[in-house]
Structure 1
Amino acid sequence: MERLEKIILDNLRLEPEKSCLWWEGKWWTNGDLLRLVEQSVKVLEEGKFRAGYRLAVLLPNSPLVLALSLAAWRLGGAISPLNAKSGLPSLMGTLQLVEPCAVVVAPGLDELKTALEEQDVPVVVAESLSDALPPLTVKETSLEDDSLAVIFATSGTTGMPKAVPLTHGNLLDNSMRMYEALELLEEGDTLLNVLPNFHSFGYTVGGLMPLVKKLRQTLLASFLPPVESMKAIHASGTNVILAVPAMLHFMIVAVSKGAPKPAGLKMAVTGGDRLNVQLDGKAEEVLGAAVIEGYGLTECSPVVAVNRNYKDRRLGTVGPIVRGYEWKLLNDKNEDVTSSGEGVLWVKGPSVTSGYFRDPVMTADRFTDGWFNTGDYVRMEDGYVRILDRVTDIIIVGGFNVYPQEVEAILHTHPAVSQAVVVGIPHPVNGEVPKAFIRLHEGAHATPREIIDFCKKHLAHFKVPRSVEFMEAFPLSSTGKVLRRLLRQK
Structure 2
Amino acid sequence: MPEFSSASAYAASLPNIPDALTVPQFLLEPHRHPLSPTRPDNVPWLVDDESGKGICTEEVRQRTYNLANALHTVWNIGEDDVVCIFSPNHVDYPISIWAVHTLGAIVTHCNPSFNVEELVYQLRISQTCLIIAYSDFLPIAFAAAQKANISPNQVIVIPSTCGNAIFNAVTLDELIARGATSPRLFSECRLKPGEAKTKVAFLSFSSGTTGKPKAVSIPHYSIVSNIVQMAVHWNVIGSSSAPSVMAVGDVCLGVLPFYHIFGLIVTVHFMLFCGITLVVVPKFSFLNYLKSIIRHKVTHLYIVPPQAVLLCKHPAVQDYATSLKHVKFVLSGAAPLSGELIQRLTKVFPKAHVGQGYGLTETATTVTMFLPSQKIGTIGSSGTLLPGIVARVRKSDGSLASQGESGELIVKGPSMALGYLNNEQANKETFVDGWVHTGDEVMFKNGELYVVDRLKEIMKVKGFQVAPAELEGHLLLHPAVADVCVVGIPDEYSGELPLAYVVVDSKLQTAITNDPSAAVKLKREIAKHVSDAKVQYKWLKGGIEFIDAIPKNPSGKMVRR
TM interval, shorter chain, is 0.7 to 0.9
| Whole-angstrom distance in 2 between the partners of 1:133 and 1:106 | 12
1:51 aligned onto 2:51: no
The correspondence of residues 474-485 of structure 1 with structure 2, limited to 5 A, is none
1:159 to 1:234, Cα distance in 2 relative to 1, 3 A: farther
1:9 aligned onto 2:33: no
The correspondence of residues 76-95 of structure 1 with structure 2, limited to 5 A, is 76-95=104-123
1:359 aligned onto 2:359: no
| Whole-angstrom distance in 2 between the partners of 1:336 and 1:168 | 32
Q: Give 2:23's aligned amino acid.
A: L
Bigger RCO of structures 1 and 2 (CA < 8 A, at least 6 apart) = 2
* Match 1:75 to one of 80, 103, 124: 103
Unaligned runs of 5+ in 1: 137-144, 395-403, 427-474
- What CA deviation, in whole Å up to 9, does each residue of 1:224-266 have, x standing for no partner? 2x11122222121210100101112223426436357434111
Q: Greater CA radius of gyration, 1 or 2? A: 2
Q: Which residue of 2 aligns with 1:116?
A: 145
| Whole-angstrom distance in 2 between the partners of 1:33 and 1:39 | 10
1:229 aligned onto 2:254: no
1:106 aligned onto 2:166: no
- What CA deviation, in whole Å up to 9, does each residue of 1:262-293 have, x standing for no partner? 34111110000110222223222223336311
SS in 2 for 1:206: helix
1:340 Cα deviation from its structure 2 partner = 6.4
Q: Which residue of 2 aligns with 1:284?
A: 346
SS in 2 for 1:258: helix
What is the TM-score with the length of structure 2 in the denominator? Answer: 0.67
1:53 to 1:264, Cα distance in 2 relative to 1, 3 A: same
SS in 2 for 1:237: coil
Q: Which residue of 2 aligns with 1:318?
A: 382
1:333 to 1:286, Cα distance in 2 relative to 1, 3 A: same
1:418 to 1:362, Cα distance in 2 relative to 1, 3 A: closer
Q: Which residue of 2 aligns with 1:399?
A: none
- What CA deviation, in whole Å up to 9, does each residue of 1:187-243 have, x standing for no partner? 33222211101111101011111222322212111112x111222221212101001
Q: Give 2:159's aligned amino acid.
A: E
Bigger mean CA offset, 58-67 vs 248-257: 248-257
1:174 aligned onto 2:226: yes
1:282 to 1:304, Cα distance in 2 relative to 1, 3 A: same
> 8 Å contact 1:280–1:290 — kept in the other structure?
no
1:381 Cα deviation from its structure 2 partner = 0.5
1:72 Cα deviation from its structure 2 partner = 0.9
| Whole-angstrom distance in 1 between the partners of 2:127 and 2:494 | 41
* Match 1:198 to one of 253, 259, 283: 259
Q: Give 2:281's aligned amino acid.
A: L
SS in 1 for 2:420: coil
> 8 Å contact 2:43–2:277 — kept in the other structure?
no
The correspondence of residues 137-152 of structure 1 with structure 2, limited to 5 A, is 147-152=199-204
Q: Give 2:149's aligned amino acid.
A: D
| Whole-angstrom distance in 2 between the partners of 1:418 and 1:363 | 33
1:18 Cα deviation from its structure 2 partner = 3.0
Q: Which residue of 1 aligns with 2:6?
A: none
1:365 to 1:162, Cα distance in 2 relative to 1, 3 A: same
Q: Give 2:273's aligned amino acid.
A: V
Q: Which residue of 2 aligns with 1:241?
A: 301
- What CA deviation, in whole Å up to 9, does each residue of 1:38-68 have, x standing for no partner? 3311221212111211110011111211101
SS in 2 for 1:204: helix
The correspondence of residues 358-377 of structure 1 with structure 2, limited to 5 A, is 358-377=422-441
Root mean square deviation of aligned Cα = 3.6
* Match 2:335 to one of 273, 280, 288: 273
> 8 Å contact 1:69–1:79 — kept in the other structure?
yes
* Match 2:392 to one of 317, 328, 351: 328
> 8 Å contact 2:209–2:438 — kept in the other structure?
no
1:162 Cα deviation from its structure 2 partner = 0.8
Q: Which residue of 1 aligns with 2:159?
A: 127
1:425 Cα deviation from its structure 2 partner = 9.5
SS in 2 for 1:19: coil
| Whole-angstrom distance in 2 between the partners of 1:371 and 1:296 | 14
Q: Which residue of 1 aligns with 2:89?
A: 61
Q: Which residue of 2 aligns with 1:307?
A: 370
> 8 Å contact 1:218–1:233 — kept in the other structure?
no
> 8 Å contact 1:90–1:161 — kept in the other structure?
no
> 8 Å contact 1:93–1:161 — kept in the other structure?
no
1:169 to 1:207, Cα distance in 2 relative to 1, 3 A: same
Unaligned runs of 5+ in 2: 1-19, 33-37, 164-170, 177-194, 236-244, 459-486, 502-530, 546-561
Q: Which residue of 2 aligns with 1:164?
A: 216
Q: Which residue of 1 aligns with 2:310?
A: 250
> 8 Å contact 2:441–2:455 — kept in the other structure?
yes
Q: Which residue of 2 aligns with 1:401?
A: none
SS in 2 for 1:79: strand
